[in-house]
Structure 1
């Protein structure tokens, strides 16, 4: 979320929480604003979970403080005793995020020397106002859909460029920049995954793994391309073999869209395997190494395409 939007949300939630607490005549109304600040997080899902944990933590803190202050008295050392009991218990239940705001509320009991049900209700109300307004303001999260679709296009274009660069290398011997493009695609996929994970955590009631798995699938494909780049740079194929592989790279580059199942490409690879198996056995070490490189490239291409096919089969209903 842009810093300006985050700042505006924080200001509005804080000020409104204080105003509402004052309007209701609550003591220590400014604490509602502090709790609102602490409760505004980056995503809806994290805010909801944090508010829940802090609510439980607040009830725990007030219960322990009520027992200690009522039985022993309102002294600084009794506050230390409260912390001795409360902090490890909060960590045990994984409610440690509520330690700071809950302890602020407990200090109000110490300052007022008051553990009546009315004053305990005052503290609970302060928490509910601060955390509640933070949740309300966190309902607004800017849509990431346009950015995600932009990443889709950029990733597809880079993949096409890499495959076509492989084609050029096989046909013309020009493949000098494929490593930089692969590194560029890695960086782009990392950026895209950060955005889709953030967007997924903003979907509280309707979640899908589609976008996350899509970019993870592309990342897996890019790892295959990195292996292939090393093989292609070192291989010395015959003209016929180079033309066949180049045509496969070109066809694959044209079938990268999400909507394309790419099943025909697997059939092509199976046919190429059969064709090369029927050729005479290599007679020299160089021929053997060339044939091994050729089969490895075909295996890698099959893995590259199978990743796309598996993804399409899993999510074809969503596409």
Structure 2
């Protein structure tokens, strides 16, 4: 969430929570604003989860405080007994996120020396107003669609550049491949996955894993490209196999869009395998090593394309179902 939008949410939720609590004539109305601040989070899902956790934690805290203060009175050492019982219990139920705000409400009981049902309702009301308004404002989350689409285009462009760079190297042998573009793609994919996971956590009802799986698929493909970049550096001998493989890189570069199933490329690889088998045996150690490397590159490309084919089949099948 952009810092400006988060700031506006915090301001509105805080001010309105305090105003509403004051309008209802609740004691310690400003605490509703503090709870609202603590409840503004980055995603809808995390906000609802946190609100539930803190509500349960608040019920637990008020119940323990009522019991302790009723039995032992309103002293500082009784607050220590409350903490001794409440904190481990909250951790046991994984409600520790509510320890701070709930304890603030409990200190109100101590300061007022009051555990009456009316005052307990006052504290619960403060929590519900603060957390409720935070949830209301968190229902609005800026769309990430444009940013995700931009990542699609950037990833595809980098993949195309990498594959065409491989093609150029096999055809021209123009220097060592330092995999700069591949490392750049690693960074872009990491950023893209951060955004799509955040976007997924903002979908409360219509969740989809498509974008997550798409960029995870590209990440798996890039791992294969890392390995291929190292192997390409050892292909220094001109050969017909190099030309064949270079043409495969070029064709693959033109079929990277997410809508393209790339199935035909697997058929091409099967034909290239057959062509490699029918070629005369290498006549020198260098030719043998280059042939072995080219064959490994072909296998890597098959794995690279298979990842895309399997992704397309999975989501095309779901779209048709």
How big is the alpha-carbon RMSD for the aligned residues of Structure 1 and Structure 2? 1.3
Secondary structure at 1:287's aligned position in 2?
helix
CA distance in 2, matches of 1:214, 1:72: 60
Alignment of 1:12-161 (within 5 A): 12-161=12-161
Aligned to 1:254: 254
C-alpha contact (below 8 Å) 1:200/1:207 kept by paired residues: yes
Aligned to 1:2: 2
C-alpha contact (below 8 Å) 1:179/1:229 kept by paired residues: yes
Structure-2 change in CA distance of 1:178 and 1:249 (3 Å) = farther
CA distance in 2, matches of 1:168, 1:185: 19
CA distance in 2, matches of 1:205, 1:92: 30
**Where do 5+ consecutive residues of structure 2 fail to align?**
none
Secondary structure at 1:6's aligned position in 2?
helix
CA distance in 1, matches of 2:155, 2:88: 48
* TM-aligned CA deviation for residue 184 of structure 1: 0.8
What TM-score, normalized by structure 1, do the two folds share? 0.97
Residues 1:179 and 2:179 aligned together: yes
C-alpha contact (below 8 Å) 2:169/2:175 kept by paired residues: yes
CA displacement 1:215-253 (0-9 Å, x = unmatched) = 111111111111111111111344311210111000000
Secondary structure at 1:89's aligned position in 2?
helix
What TM-score, normalized by structure 2, do the two folds share? 0.97
* TM-aligned CA deviation for residue 125 of structure 1: 0.6
CA distance in 1, matches of 2:178, 2:222: 11
* TM-aligned CA deviation for residue 283 of structure 1: 4.3
CA displacement 1:43-88 (0-9 Å, x = unmatched) = 1000000000000000000000000101111100000000000000
CA distance in 2, matches of 1:94, 1:51: 13
CA displacement 1:287-310 (0-9 Å, x = unmatched) = 321221111001000010001011
CA distance in 2, matches of 1:171, 1:291: 15
CA distance in 1, matches of 2:205, 2:76: 45
Q: Following superposition, which runs of at least 4 residues in structure 1 exceed 2 angstroms of deviation?
A: 174-178, 236-239, 278-288
CA distance in 2, matches of 1:100, 1:88: 13
* TM-aligned CA deviation for residue 280 of structure 1: 3.3
Secondary structure at 2:217's aligned position in 1?
helix
**Where do 5+ consecutive residues of structure 1 fail to align?**
none
CA displacement 1:70-126 (0-9 Å, x = unmatched) = 111110000000000000000000000000000000001111111111111111110
CA distance in 2, matches of 1:253, 1:236: 22
* TM-aligned CA deviation for residue 260 of structure 1: 0.6
Aligned to 1:302: 302
CA distance in 2, matches of 1:314, 1:123: 51
CA distance in 1, matches of 2:138, 2:284: 69
Residues 1:169 and 2:176 aligned together: no
* TM-aligned CA deviation for residue 178 of structure 1: 5.5
C-alpha contact (below 8 Å) 1:237/1:294 kept by paired residues: no
Structure-2 change in CA distance of 1:175 and 1:142 (3 Å) = farther
Aligned residues: 319
Aligned to 2:228: 228
C-alpha contact (below 8 Å) 2:177/2:230 kept by paired residues: no
